[in-house]
Amino acid sequence: MAMRELVTGGAACAVPGSSSSSNPLGAFANALIGSSSQKERLQEIPTSTLNTSGNNLYSGAGEPLSALPGAESEQHLQHESKGSEFVSGFHAANDNRLADVWDGIQNPQIPHFPGREGQTTFPLGHPQLQPELNGPPQRVLSSFLHSFVNSSHGGVPFGPTQLPILGLSEGDKRCIRDRSSIMARHFFADKSEDFINGQVNALLSSLEIDNHALARGHISGRHSELEQYWNEPQIMTPGPHTGDGWADEFAQHRVGQGDPNAWALSFERQHGAGGWASEFEHEQAQMTSVGRMAGANIPSLAAMEQTRMLAHTLAQNSNPKFQNSKFLQFVSKMSRGELTIEDNQVKPASGDWANEYQQQYNAGPSSWADQGPDRWADDFAAERAHHGPVDEQWVNEFSKLQVNDWADEFGRQVGEGVLGDDSADNWASAYDEYLNEQAVVKQKSDASRGVYVFSDLNPYVGHPDPLREGQELFRKGLLSEAVLALEAEVLKNPENAEGWRLLGVAHAENDDDQQAIASMMRAQEADPTNLEVLLALGVSHTNELEQQAALKYLYSWLRHHPEYGKIAPPELSDSLYYADVARTFNEAAQMSPEDADVHIVLGVLYNLSREYDKAIESFQTALKLKPRDYSLWNKLGATQANSVQSADAIYAYQRALDLKPNYVRAWANMGISYANQGMYEDSIRYYVRALAMNPKADNAWQYLRISLSCASRNDMMEACDSRNLDVLQKEFPL
């Protein structure tokens, strides 16, 4: 789980000052705790091991009883093993959320309660807080713990209840006690210490856990070194907390959660694996039940261990670039979680934490859904909410990754140099890239949403007749200049369909389909029936593999065609089936076989259905009628290339380039065809040529990078990444 936090919480945790409300970790925590309080949801969740006869977890069957904390503590329960079974059963069921919350706040420091009693007479007028007390013990425990968590949301006092004998082991009890003490301080951050103690005592006494008897149990003097280690972090007081700091803090806290393993690991570092093993076994025997209590947490412990190993391995990598990377900083920060375990005092900022948390909770998923539909946190929460069967959750997904868990494997392989020298580097840059992406993501999403993105500095703004200038530049083949002039035109006359159309054509020829689509959509707004615009939109969407959108525009082309419009049934326009559209187009082609345009549209349509042979035939027919149409030659070439006839494709592209030497798209397509034939050196030259004409052709940059790597030209990678065309052109002349 720690590793996942690296993934989800990465940016926010590593970048100071990022808003906590956009922190995926916050969302994550929110999802965990939030959903644990949602009884309805929980009840929808299929339980894997529970006997479902007791359908309502909160039936309110409980009788209020006053029990004094500690009073029954002597009744140590017999069924150790049984108790662990209960606990693990309860985890196997639906309580991972609770367990996670529980674990999240787990902190092995032992709270010292003043032993105050008489907190147990809280009013009990909240039936929803009454756990069900009948049924199998794990159900009782589960619902009981839930009711405790629920009591936090309303700030309602939690009443002690007499529970049936649960058979909790010592380890279980200790675990519950520790976690509840700490969790309560987070839940009730705004309440007084007395109140918190009361809550916890009520819980513990109901579970017959003695707050004192166990107090020193789990780190007895046996592990003196461990204890030293242990005390260290507690001396460290967390720095000043701001509202923004909470998530980070919480992340560290969570990372530090895995007490037994963290100890073991710390211990291992000091004493080496051998000595550690026996100690650990000893420890583990005692902690088995804690581990079981952790249930869902076991993967997270494993993941944390991996994080630590990862950080350790990475730290030994002497590559300075890597050493300075934020990725490493972040990983080591994560793994240091075990050393910065917070004590359980209530911090001034904890109030903020709680409020923030509550706000997020209230706001529900929407606050973090804003981060974009593809955010994984979103998916994750949705998955959990909708069908949280244990198996489907990523925590477990993650833990199911064979013995060679990826971080493990990764650490090993980096260590052994199996992945090559650049591997760690790649990870580092991938992470940096991830951070950088956050900054540019908005701009990019604008473009992909069909919003036209104008250039910043445009010398043609203020030009007396930018349209004419743009047409002239386009005719000369100066596409990038033409784009600027045409942008100036549509800024001046936003309703000029021809300005937008030509701008779209220029972008398409310049190999930028996103901008082409954005311009063409504006052209279509201004002139909804322009056939060239409709065809261009159909082509661009086909290139982007957007089948439905493409089909819609191609059909509109037919509908608005002065001749073929009458054979296009209007009722089709709502729900388009490819077969109907294709049939209608074939009719049209038979009506006037001499019309090149209908063959072109048909060719595009066959591309859409990936009937490449038919598409090639259509384009060849059209080319007989329009042999000087360079974009048609390119269409033929692209179709041939996509149906793995790369050699033919190169011939077609060459024809296109003979007719229009500055046709960036054809140059880029040339590169693709060479690359697809495994001729990477050649492909590089064509990509560089295309980029020299339009440095904004992002696709070509990406393909260039791939070809460089395939051609083992990593020496030029930096020039590619920094988009240094001078170097690239010198190195790869065409």
Whichever of 149 and 483 has its CB closer to another protein, that residue is 483
Whichever of 66 and 676 has its CB closer to another protein, that residue is 676
Burial of 284 (0-12, 13-18, 19+ CB in 10 A): middle
CA distance 527 to 300: 58
Q: Could you tell me the smallest distance in angstroms from the CB atom of residue 651 to another protein?
A: 14
Whichever of 75 and 548 has its CB closer to another protein, that residue is 548
Q: Could you tell me the smallest distance in angstroms from the CB atom of residue 423 to another protein?
A: 8
Find out whether 264 and 301 touch, Cβ atoms under 8 Å: no
Element (H or E) spanning 630, and its range?
helix 630-642
Q: Could you tell me the smallest distance in angstroms from the CB atom of residue 609 to another protein?
A: 5
Angle, in degrees to the nearest 10, between helices 531-543 and 513-526: 150
Q: Could you tell me the smallest distance in angstroms from the CB atom of residue 327 to another protein?
A: 9
Q: Could you tell me the smallest distance in angstroms from the CB atom of residue 404 to another protein?
A: 5
Whichever of 191 and 552 has its CB closer to another protein, that residue is 552
User: Quick one: DSSP state of residue 94?
Assistant: T
Find out whether 94 and 141 touch, Cβ atoms under 8 Å: no
Calculate the alpha carbon distances from 33 to 42, 48, 371 in Å.
12, 21, 20
Q: Could you tell me the smallest distance in angstroms from the CB atom of residue 689 to another protein?
A: 16
Q: Could you tell me the smallest distance in angstroms from the CB atom of residue 508 to another protein?
A: 8
The two tokens of residue 594 are 């001499």
Whichever of 280 and 612 has its CB closer to another protein, that residue is 612
Whichever of 43 and 423 has its CB closer to another protein, that residue is 423
Q: Could you tell me the smallest distance in angstroms from the CB atom of residue 577 to another protein?
A: 7
Q: Could you tell me the smallest distance in angstroms from the CB atom of residue 721 to another protein?
A: 12
Whichever of 234 and 699 has its CB closer to another protein, that residue is 699
Whichever of 332 and 458 has its CB closer to another protein, that residue is 332
The two tokens of residue 517 are 């689509």
Q: Give the side-chain half-sphere CA count within 13 A for 419.
A: 13
Find out whether 328 and 432 touch, Cβ atoms under 8 Å: no
Task: Give 414-452 as a DSSP string.
Answer: HHHTTT-THHHHHHHHHHHHHHHHHHHHHHHHHHHTT--
Whichever of 361 and 394 has its CB closer to another protein, that residue is 394
Whose tokens are 């992909």? That residue is 448
Whichever of 563 and 718 has its CB closer to another protein, that residue is 718
Q: If we measure between CA atoms, which residue out of 550, 561, 616 comes closest to residue 585?
A: 561
What distance lies between CA 212 and its chain's CA centroid?
44
The two tokens of residue 571 are 């009722």
Contacts of 135 (CB under 8 A, 6+ apart): 51, 53, 54
The two tokens of residue 402 are 């064979």
Whichever of 8 and 73 has its CB closer to another protein, that residue is 8
Question: What is the four-CA torsion angle of 385, 391, 396, 402, rounded to 10 degrees?
Answer: -150
Whichever of 568 and 604 has its CB closer to another protein, that residue is 604
Range 582-614 burial, b when 16+ CB lie within 10 A, else e: bebbeebbeeeeebbbbbbbbbbbbbbeeebeb
Q: Could you tell me the smallest distance in angstroms from the CB atom of residue 445 to another protein?
A: 12
| Amino acid sitting at position 384 | R
Q: Could you tell me the smallest distance in angstroms from the CB atom of residue 452 to another protein?
A: 19
CA distance 380 to 393: 8
Contacts of 366 (CB under 8 A, 6+ apart): none
Whichever of 210 and 513 has its CB closer to another protein, that residue is 513
User: Quick one: DSSP state of residue 161?
Assistant: B
Q: Could you tell me the smallest distance in angstroms from the CB atom of residue 542 to another protein?
A: 7
CA distance 62 to 134: 9
Q: Could you tell me the smallest distance in angstroms from the CB atom of residue 646 to another protein?
A: 7
